[in-house]
Structure 1
Amino acid sequence: MIRVGIVGASGWAAASHLPALAGLADFEVTAVATTGQAGADRVAAAHGVPLALVGAEALAARPEVDLVVVSVKASGHAAAVRAALAAGKHVLSEWPLGVDAPEAEELARAADAAGVVHAVNLQGHRSPDARYVADLLAAGTIGRLESAVLVAAGDPLGGPRIAPELEWSTDPAAGTSLLTVMAGHFLATLHRVAGPLVEVSARLPRSRDRVEVTGTGRTVRNGVPSQVLLLGTLENGAAASVTVHGGSGSPDGFLIKLVGSDGTLTAVPPRPGTYMHWTDWDIRVDGEPAPVPARYRTVPFDPAAGPVANVAAVYQEVAEAIARGRTPSPDFHTAAAHHRLLAAIERSAATGAPQQVR
């Protein structure tokens, strides 16, 4: 049994991590921590967790915790991860791992030095649908991949309005934006399907200097992009085109189109209002349905219910890595490499020139 402590156990963690862990026999949540005792007490009581603590250091120090899950704001990830590493605990961090590539790389080195299992919740890497499409490509189902197109909605970030609980995300220093979070997850999923980008030419339009805080009558300064536009080259030489558009409501879906020398594969959501790294896909090869075989779906959750299924798949991978003493996928080095991709996108947008991903 892997005993789990969650730092930042409200919000996203309550909607995904805690339900995922409740359905997996290899895990037991033994502790939660928030910034205040009252909040920790509420979460612990709601989910039947024995220990309610304040702060990452207090949680990581407890002998009842084997795995520390970091689910706070991106700007607080590094401190919470370091607390877990200092205590010699395995750690799973939410994406993004840090606020930038240098911080992510430093955390990856520190995790290696600590000798613990380290993973990042880029759950698109564990998506059964993404893994199946990757296997179809590897099997030559559409021949040699020649181009990859991705169009996706990045709501609730990047639009003319922002929810009050996300007001802080309009500051680039917060590390949470249409590029870092939404495009970050989408590009990671595309990587799992089609391989890494090695060169990018990008634009990050920011269509408004101020955005409205929904329901307050206030506006706040906006320093983050409204769109992510990207042309690039994949490792196998295929062309890639990515558009992630911001918005203020429920996302209207995504489209993946993979064109090969012998055919075309498309993937879209079977239901509106979800993200590609959360849900199952309607996959078609040359227009014909290509349903995901049951063996790819290894968790006891319906992917139609939202993000819990793919988050649970990440936990399955972590459990296997701990049991076998191996590195999970995706780990902190995967995250650091992905941060370097985002840094190349930012360099290209700033300079107007193509950039190598390194």
Structure 2
Amino acid sequence: MATSPKIRTALVGLNAPYTGAPTGTNWAARAHLPYLQASSKYELVALQNSSAERASKAIEAYGLNPDTVKAYGTPEDADLANDPNVDLVVSSIRVDRHGGSVIPSIKAGKAVFVEWPLEANYAIAKDLTDLVKTHNVRNVVGLQGGFSPVVQKLKDLVARGDIGKVESSTVVIKSMGGATLPSMVDYFVDKKIGGNAFTIAFGHSLELVTQVLGEVASHRSLLVNQYPEVSIVDPKTREVLEKRPNDVPNQIVFNAILKSGAVLTQKLHSSASIPPGGKDQGQPPGLDWRIFGSKGEIRITANETWALNTGNGDAKVEVWKDDGTVVVVDIGVDEFEDLPAPARNIGRVYEAFAAGLDWEGKKKKWYPDFEHALKTHELIEQMYKENGF
């Protein structure tokens, strides 16, 4: 049986390791690169950065072959978009630059993978979604939490009725933010950029919940900004570098009725006083999720806030039955456990995208696309408006 050709991939936003103060999260290096280097389905053929020189430095820094991995500069030049040897362009840069980094490639007919949030706000995200439809371009978005083995196991437990009919659920998560922010994400204080502790953490955590319990039917929310001024600190020394005005909420309460009829309460707490990290750092769990059914309860806890979203294996799942028994669920492992934690669920998204393509315009396997992400963008926009942000 003939094997499918590898998907020739260009990665936008892979920076050489920082020598000074870091800027951004370098998610491309932490999550995308490890999978792409190990994959049998994808081939990394190009990097794009703010300049071809910076892309070349990244090629050298990560030991990539300059004979097989091309270096491209700013997307405005459209050199990457016009490269016939690139099938897929992956954008892992600051949120408000996502669209600009892929629009030339969309217009050239290339498939695109854009991180979450898709863009700075709902209106721009909708324009981007409309554009991929106009050009009939295959697209995928980095809402990877639904591919977590824990989430898949939870879906199975709920579907087979281990706790009866799901009546309600509560989710409490912690995120960075509050009075201080590390300098590499100083832009989190600026709502118009679109990437912040609210949009990123809430969007990803809602994806986990809806993948298990189903979509939102109606909702009300409470958003509060307790820190109109935030201290930007050195991520290593915690020295205060500057003060910045902040217009992003740090307390989020989301109440919803799901299409199943179940009631959801989701709480996001962004505070520097209680950082994500769990008991290994002398802290409570970063994630505490409970699913209440007519015949029992499922409780999910994780040291790290992002454990389910990234694929970190420290989550604990317990099923509390109405007969008093408690079962600790074995999640199991797969081949992605060999990757660094940030790359595991991202790798699973890549796999679903590859399996879902027949390159005839049909989608054979589900994966999160722009249309899917746009629903969460719209919900976040409604929450902002409801609370006067």
Q: Paired residue for 2:268?
A: 244
Report SS of the residue matched to 1:204: strand
Give the TM-score normalised by structure 1: 0.91
Matches within 5 A, 1:30-49: 30-47=45-62, 48-49=64-65
In structure 2, which of residues 139, 143, 149 is the aligned counterpart of residue 122 of structure 1? Answer: 143
Q: Paired residue for 1:282?
A: 316
User: Which residue identity does 1:277 align to in structure 2?
Assistant: N
Q: CA deviation at 1:60?
A: 2.3
Q: Paired residue for 1:180?
A: 199
Q: CA deviation at 1:128?
A: 1.8
Q: CA deviation at 1:7?
A: 1.2
Q: Paired residue for 2:165?
A: 144
Q: Paired residue for 2:18?
A: none
Q: Paired residue for 1:206?
A: 225
Q: Distance in 2 between matches of 1:300 and 1:274?
A: 17
Q: Distance in 2 between matches of 1:145 and 1:132?
A: 15
Matches within 5 A, 1:341-352: 341-350=379-388
In structure 1, which of residues 315, 322, 325 is the aligned counterpart of residue 350 of structure 2? Answer: 315
Q: Paired residue for 2:36?
A: 21
Report the structure number with the largest CA radius of gyration: 2
User: Which residue identity does 1:282 align to in structure 2?
Assistant: K
Q: Distance in 1 between matches of 2:305 and 2:189?
A: 23
Q: CA deviation at 1:246?
A: 0.8
Q: Deviations along 1:1-26, whole A, 9 cap, x unmatched?
A: 11110111231101110011112111
The structure whose residues are more often helix, as a share, is 1
User: Which residue identity does 2:294 align to in structure 1?
Assistant: S
Distance 1:161 1:349, change over 3 A: same
Q: CA deviation at 1:302?
A: 4.0
Q: Distance in 2 between matches of 1:240 and 1:167?
A: 31
Q: Paired residue for 1:356?
A: none
User: Which residue identity does 1:261 align to in structure 2?
Assistant: S
User: Which residue identity does 2:354 align to in structure 1?
Assistant: A
Q: Paired residue for 1:165?
A: 184
Q: Distance in 2 between matches of 1:124 and 1:79?
A: 25
Distance 1:15 1:293, change over 3 A: closer
User: Which residue identity does 2:344 align to in structure 1?
Assistant: A
User: Which residue identity does 1:8 align to in structure 2?
Assistant: G
CA contact (8 A) 2:175 2:305 kept: no
Q: CA deviation at 1:113?
A: 2.3
Q: Deviations along 1:86-127, whole A, 9 cap, x unmatched?
A: 111011100011222222222222212222221001011221
Aligned: 1:300 with 2:336: yes
Give the unaligned 5+ runs of structure 1.
352-358
Q: Deviations along 1:55-100, whole A, 9 cap, x unmatched?
A: 2333222122110001111101112231221111011100011222
Report SS of the residue matched to 2:388: helix
Output the aligned Cα RMSD.
1.9
Aligned: 1:95 with 2:128: no
Q: CA deviation at 1:242?
A: 0.7
Q: CA deviation at 1:324?
A: 6.2
Q: Paired residue for 1:235?
A: 259
User: Which residue identity does 1:244 align to in structure 2?
Assistant: L
Q: Distance in 1 between matches of 2:129 and 2:85?
A: 25
Give the TM-score normalised by structure 2: 0.84
In structure 2, which of residues 268, 290, 295 is the aligned counterpart of residue 257 of structure 1? Answer: 290
Q: Distance in 2 between matches of 1:311 and 1:161?
A: 29
Distance 1:100 1:301, change over 3 A: same
Report SS of the residue matched to 2:8: strand
Matches within 5 A, 1:60-139: 60-139=81-160
Report SS of the residue matched to 1:141: coil
CA contact (8 A) 1:142 1:259 kept: yes
Q: Distance in 2 between matches of 1:202 and 1:275?
A: 25
Give the unaligned 5+ runs of structure 2.
1-5, 16-25, 234-238, 279-285, 321-325
Higher relative contact order (Cα pairs below 8 Å, separated by 6+ residues): 1
CA contact (8 A) 1:70 1:81 kept: yes
Aligned: 1:218 with 2:218: no
Report SS of the residue matched to 1:284: strand
CA contact (8 A) 1:7 1:55 kept: no
Q: Paired residue for 2:74?
A: 55
CA contact (8 A) 2:187 2:196 kept: no
Q: Paired residue for 1:340?
A: 378
